[in-house]
Chain A
Amino acid sequence: MNDFNGLGPYKLDVLKEVGNIGAGNAATALSRLLDKPVDMAVPKVSLLPFEEIAEIVGGAEQTVIAVFLRVEGEAPGNMFFIIEEPSAKRMMHRLLSLEIREQEGYSEMELSALCEIGNILAGSYLSSLADFTGLSMMPTVPSAALDMAGAILSYGLLQFGEMGDSALLIETAFLEGRDMLEGHFFLIPDPGSFNKIFLALGVTSE
Chain B
Amino acid sequence: MMEQQTVKVGMADLNIALNGALIRTSGLGSCVGVTLYDSVAGIAGMAHVMLPSSEIARESNFNVAKYADTAIPALIQAMENAGASIPRMVAKMAGGAQMFAFASQNDSMRIGPRNVESCKLALGQVSIPIRAEDTGANFGRTIEIDSATGKLTIRSVQFGIKEI
Give residues in A with beta carbon < 8 Å to B: 1, 50-51, 54, 59-61, 63, 68, 70, 105, 140-141, 143, 145-155, 157-159, 161-165
Contacts and interface: CB of A to CB of B under 8 A. Distances in A.
Interface residues of B, number: 35
Interface secondary structure of A, over-half rule: mixed
15 contacts: A50-B50, A60-B26, A60-B142, A63-B157, A148-B26, A148-B27, A150-B11, A150-B28, A150-B29, A151-B99, A151-B141, A155-B100, A158-B51, A162-B58, A163-B57
Contact of A154 (B50, B101, B157): B50
B143 to A, nearest CB: 11
The 5 closest A-B pairs by CB, nearest first: A150-B27, A151-B140, A151-B29, A60-B27, A148-B140
B157 A155 contact: no
Contacts of B106: 70
Interface string B85-129: 000000000000101111001101001000000000000000000
Interface residues of B: mostly helix, strand, loop or mixed?
Answer: loop
A18 to B, nearest CB: 23
B17 interface: no
Nearest to B105: A140
A61 B30 contact: no
B149 interface: no
Interface string B15-30: 0000000000011111
Contacts of A141: 102
B42 interface: no
Interface in B39-83: 50-51, 56-59, 63, 66
Given A148-B27, A151-B99, A162-B51, A50 B140 contact: no
